[in-house]
Structure 1
Amino acid sequence: MRSRPLTRLLTAVLCAVGMLGVAGLSGCTGSTASPASGKITLGFSAWPGWNVWQVAQEQGLFAQNGVEVELKWFDSYTDSLNALATGAIDANSQTLNDTLMSVSGGARQTVVLVNDNSTGNDKIISRDGIAGVADLKGKKVAVEQGTVDHYLLLLALAEAKLSEKDIELVPLVTDAAAAAFVAGRVDAVGAFAPFTTKALERPGSRAIATSAEFPGAIPDHLVVKSDLVKDNPQVVQGVVNTWFATLAWIKDNRDAAVGIMAKRNGVSVEDYKSYDSGTTIFTRQQNIDAFTPGTTPQHLNHQARLASDFLMSTGLAKNTPNLDGLFNDAFVKAVPE
């Protein structure tokens, strides 16, 4: 799910730190009849939970909620992360792991909304003859290092009483990993939708582990530059309000919405519908519950600690991410019920 070369991301973060704002907490207001001050650019890329933004744009819901937003699609998720880190965009759709990686490098970013949790659309897929994760011992497994699917692989291996040392890890970007698996060059692959659809084209292939087995481990967010929260909270509020307004529109116009989202991801409507159960879109209350500090998988602070440990233990992060001020629930709390 949502992959990128970590060295490129870290370089971009380190180069941009001086340009980024300082995190701050601000009071929030609801949407207004006139546009909030300033146009912002919001990035998103291939993941079922983020296609909601495409619906918002096509239905004019940003304007209805008083904000002027340029929606920017990235064919490469990597590029969207770099764009936020360098200040080329104001907000981005990205995973918790990737946000922590940016913060570890010195970026000032704030999570203001939980879009969804992956509940099955991240998968470890194996060839015929491999019945479970324990059978991966000594096998070639393709995955992009440092991504949430690498994280999922390690969680699944640990549950099977194995470690990364017990497999032959083949580091490839996610689309190339899926292609290598289909071509028979590796025995298994870690991938996210829609690349899981490609991987499962290999005859006899099956998912032997999915994110559904690790609740809360892979949350996806709207992340903004922290100076936007400080300097223009009304814009952030308008974008968050738009998200929930769009979810309401999708509920009332399901077929039209699925058509828009499937087209954006370049898959058939039937394939897109198959992703439904694997991505759990969060309600306002689920957002509030996730932002509330706690010690269970549903709590973001808990998952952030686990993900930070992963980044540090694998050597992907050189500095422990600072979690102070990373999560700001003021905007979801201010959304009209």
Structure 2
Amino acid sequence: FVARANGAAIKTIGVFSQPEWSAIVVPADSTITDVAQLKGTKIAATKGTDPYFFLLQALNQAGLSLADVEIINLQHADGQAALARGDVDAWAGLDPIMATTEAKDGAQLIYRNPDFLSYGVLNAREAFLQESPELVDQVLACYQEARQWIKDNPEDAAALLAKEATLEPEIATTVLTQRTNVDVPLVPGDPQRAVLETILPTLVAEGQVRSEEEARTALESIYDTTFAERASS
């Protein structure tokens, strides 16, 4: 979305998952148990990413704003390391790092809300969509087949993820079977648009898009449902 808002000729053509890949994480021995208690704390987050936008929405829901906390802008792995060292009070986590520190360090997830997270989507250049529609159809057909296989074979899918991503089997199982919903419509539309609509003002305020007008134009034109509708029929 940010790329399209800044002039890239790309479209979102399919949705393959609704992952719960972020939450607000605190150390095992933290006394913080809810978002409201984050006032006055240091929070590690990677600006411009889904965990960052998740954090902003969580703060807003709790009646807080960025002025009430100190954001330490770190890459995801560095954010987890800062949390483990005690350099920050909380971290806007990202799986599988989040699931790993939860299992190995006893880190606590004090706030979870899948509705505040974006979806796993497929994007493509508009030129490619025009030049190679048959290949696009094949890609979406493969995704549909893979999603069905994951639903039918969750244990095998978790084992495959563990092998390919070099994860502990229990971490892969948590990420794939407990925090990733692949049973979502392939066709993009209102649910995905609603998430982007929510974070759009933040993108504008932080200068991550060139203008609000261009961002709203991008939001209205980002989805091409033709291929997903064909693959779903």
Q: TM-score, normalised by structure 2?
A: 0.88
Contact 1:181 1:202 in 2 (8 A): no
Q: Does 1:301 align with 2:193?
A: yes
8 Å contact from structure 1 (residues 126, 205) kept in 2: yes
* Higher RCO (C-alpha under 8 Å, 6+ residues apart): 2
Report whether the alignment pairs 1:315 with 2:217. no
- Structure 1 residue aligned with 2:7, among 91, 106, 119? 106
Deviation, structure 1 residue 201: 5.6
**Aligned with residue 143 of structure 2, among 210, 221, 243:** 243
The residue aligned with 1:279 is 180
Aligned residue in 2 for 1:191: 93
For residues 15-39 of structure 1, the C-alpha deviation after alignment (integer angstroms, 9 at most, x for no partner) is: xxxxxxxxxxxxxxxxxxxxxxxxx
Q: What is the aligned partner in structure 2 of residue 258 from structure 1?
A: 158
Q: 1:301 to 1:281 in 2, by over 3 A?
A: same
Question: What is the DSSP-based 3-state SS (H/G/I as helix, E as strand, rest coil) of the residue aligned with 1:169?
Answer: strand
CA distance in 2, matches of 1:336, 1:191: 33
Task: Look up the SS of the partner of 1:334 in the other structure.
Answer: helix
Mapped partners of 1:251, 1:134: distance in 2? 37
RMSD: 2.0
Supply the distance in 1 between the matched residues of 2:197 and 2:129 (Cα, whole angstroms).
23
Q: 1:116 Cα shift?
A: 1.2
1:136–1:167 CA contact under 8 A, matched in 2? yes
> Which structure 2 segments of 5+ residues have no match?
none
The whole-number CA distance in structure 1 between the counterparts of 2:232 and 2:10 is 25
The 1:114/1:175 distance shift into structure 2, 3 A limit, reads same
1:138-161 per-position Cα deviation (integer Å, ceiling 9, x unaligned): 111001111111111111111110
Matching residue of 2:19: 118
Shift of 1:204: 5.5
1:182·1:201 contact (CA, 8 Å) conserved in 2?
A: no
Aligned partner of 1:21 in structure 2 is none
Aligned residues: 226
Rounded to whole Å, the distance in 2 between the matches of 1:172 and 1:216 is 21
Q: Using the alignment, how far apart are the partners of 1:313 and 1:154 within structure 2?
A: 13
1:164 matches 2:66: yes
SS at match of 1:200: helix
Q: Equivalents in 1 of 2:181, 2:225: separation in Å?
A: 19
Aligned pairs for 1:47-196 within 5 A: 100-119=1-20, 121-127=21-27, 128-196=30-98
Offset, 1:328:
1.0
- Would you say the 8 A contact 2:57–2:116 is kept in 1? no
Q: For 1:202 and 1:318, how far apart are their aligned partners in 2? A: 42
Instruction: Summarize deviations over 1:111-159 as a string: whole Å, max 9, x none.
Output: 111111123x311101311111111111110011111111111111111
Residue equivalent to 1:206: 108
Check the 8 A contact 2:16/2:147 in 1, yes or no: no
Q: 1:147 to 1:319 in 2, by over 3 A?
A: same
Shift of 1:254: 3.5
Shift of 1:224: 0.8
Please point out which of 251, 262, 269 is paired with 2:169: 269
TM-score by length of 1: 0.63
Structure-2 separation of matches of 1:158 and 1:185 = 24
1:229 maps to 129
CA contact (8 A) 2:22 2:117 kept: no
**Secondary structure, counterpart of 1:116 in structure 2:** strand
Equivalent positions of 1:5-84 (< 5 A) are: none
Structure 2: distance between partners of 1:313 and 1:113:
28
Amino acid at match of 1:112: I
CA distance in 2, matches of 1:227, 1:203: 47
- The alignment partner of 2:203 has SS state of helix
Aligned-partner residue type, residue 247 of structure 1? R
Correspondence for 1:327: 223
Residue in structure 2 matched with residue 55 of structure 1 by the alignment: none
Native 8 Å contact 1:126 1:189 kept in 2: yes
Q: Retained in 2: the 8 A contact 1:114–1:221?
A: yes
Give the conservation status (yes or no) of the 8 Å contact 1:110–1:327.
yes
Say which SS state the counterpart of residue 318 (structure 1) adopts: coil
Measured in 2, the distance between the counterparts of 1:312 and 1:185 equals 30
**1:168 counterpart letter in structure 2:** E
Identical residues among aligned pairs (%): 23
Provide, for residues 269-297 of structure 1, a one-character-per-residue CA deviation record: whole Å limited to 9, x for no partner: 211111222221144xx234x42x4xxxx
